[in-house]
């Protein structure tokens, strides 16, 4: 069972002059690996058990996952990357998300931040577990959680989910993404705090988006450069370190399987055996890490 974490304030991960904090909503065994990654060869997991178990794959073959945000602190801006599941959301098809009361705000405070300190909210994509804390329920209405923030949505991503949402509403069908577009995206638009941007948008010097489609049509990575150091916030291009054992494995939630594989393999080739830090959307236990080669293939080296 995924548990809420209320640990002591942790030291930030450094990328040059920038600080990175991981704000954890929940972390723990999530779902069977075979459900998350259709077609996975469990024999290949066993061959890599020396580093995959138990920290990334439990004894009963559940993928151990974290649901978290990252906050990038540049000295000029505080950028919150991905906004987890959220509280009070109606998610009846997923019990672990339904009407939850997570301690996310406590975790944010442990990083030394309050909602009003966030300058940008950057959603790498608009799935329900990456937009939830965009909004909070107040007097029966969904309002932006971060009152001073500009919420940055990629145009391609927003247009795709807006069309899917509008079509479902018009047809009286179930809305996509557990209804998260309605309760976690549209209220931000209505409040005038959203900005639709091209996929090369630059937040400031050294902090810029890059289009990385496949998992969703408009998925983006956030690349950061400071004092010769490089980091990438990669969202759900990789869901679990198991995908380093076989980079052809897509999650069952990937929109375009062929494109998702190509994007994943390009990312892994870019970062493997380099000093580039990777901050993923769901890897547990560390703020970021590196992809490294071993005698038995690629592996994940977490960096707290």
Whole-number Å distance between alpha carbons of 125 and 42: 29
pLDDT in tens, 186-238: 999 999 999 999 999 999 999 999 999 999 999 999 999 999 999 999 999 99
* pTM of the shown model: 0.95
1 falls within a domain: no
268 falls within a domain: yes
2 falls within a domain: no
Q: Provide the 10 A C-beta neighbour count for residue 46.
A: 12
Q: In this structure, what CATH number is given to the domain that contains residue 158?
A: 3.60.15.10
4 falls within a domain: no
- pLDDT confidence of residue 157: 98
Strands (E), 199-264: 202-204, 207-211, 220-226, 229-235
Domain with 148 in it: 13-303
5 falls within a domain: no
287 falls within a domain: yes
* pLDDT exceeds cutoff 90 at 6: no
pLDDT in tens, 125-165: 999 999 999 999 999 999 999 999 999 999 999 999 999 99
CB 245 within 8 A of CB 48: yes
More confident residue, 10 or 24: 24
Closest CA to 75 of 134, 9, 16, 139: 16
Q: How confident is the model at residue 4 (pLDDT cuts 50, 70, 90)?
A: low
- pLDDT confidence of residue 1: 43
- Cα–Cα separations (whole angstroms), residue 183 to 42, 132, 137, 154, 165: 38, 8, 9, 18, 12
pLDDT in tens, 281-301: 999 999 999 999 999 999 999
7 falls within a domain: no
pLDDT in tens, 67-90: 999 999 999 999 999 999 999 999
User: Does residue 259 have a cis peptide bond before it, meaning omega lies within 30 degrees of 0?
Assistant: no
- pLDDT confidence of residue 3: 53
- The total domain count for the chain is 1
pLDDT in tens, 222-279: 999 999 999 999 999 999 999 999 999 999 999 999 999 999 999 999 999 999 999 9
Q: What is the DSSP string of 120-169?
A: EEE-SS--GGGTGGGEEEETTEEEESSTTPEEEEEHHHHHHHHHHHHHHH
- pLDDT confidence of residue 45: 96
């Amino acid at each position: 069972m995924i548990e809420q974490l209320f640990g002591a304030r942790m030291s930030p991960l450094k990328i040059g002059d920038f600080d990175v904090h991981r704000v954890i909503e929940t972390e723990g065994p999530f779902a069977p690996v075979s459900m998350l990654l259709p077609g996975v060869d469990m024999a290949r997991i066993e061959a890599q058990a020396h580093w995959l178990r138990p920290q990334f794959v439990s004894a009963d073959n559940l993928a151990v996952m974290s649901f978290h945000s990252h906050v990038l602190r540049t000295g000029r801006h505080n950028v919150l990357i991905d906004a987890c599941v959220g509280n009070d959301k109606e998610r009846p098809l997923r019990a672990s998300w339904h009407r939850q009361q997570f301690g996310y705000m406590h975790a944010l405070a442990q990083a030394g931040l309050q909602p009003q300190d966030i300058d940008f909210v950057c959603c790498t994509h608009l799935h329900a577990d990456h937009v939830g804390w965009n909004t909070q329920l107040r007097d029966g209405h969904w309002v932006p959680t971060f009152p001073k923030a500009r919420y940055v949505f990629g145009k391609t991503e927003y247009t795709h989910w807006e069309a899917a949402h509008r079509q479902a509403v018009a047809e009286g069908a179930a809305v996509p993404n557990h209804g998260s577009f309605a309760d976690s995206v549209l209220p931000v638009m209505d409040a005038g705090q959203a900005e639709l941007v091209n996929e090369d948008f630059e937040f400031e010097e050294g902090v810029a988006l890059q289009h990385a489609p496949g998992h969703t049509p408009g998925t983006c990575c956030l690349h950061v450069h400071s004092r010769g150091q490089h980091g990438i916030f990669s969202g759900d291009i990789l869901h679990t370190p198991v995908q380093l054992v076989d980079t052809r494995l897509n999650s069952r939630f990937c929109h375009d399987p062929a494109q998702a594989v190509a994007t994943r393999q390009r990312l892994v080739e870019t970062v493997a055996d380099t000093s580039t830090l990777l901050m993923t959307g769901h890897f547990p236990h560390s703020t970021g890490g590196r992809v490294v080669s071993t005698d038995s293939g690629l592996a994940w080296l977490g960096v707290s």
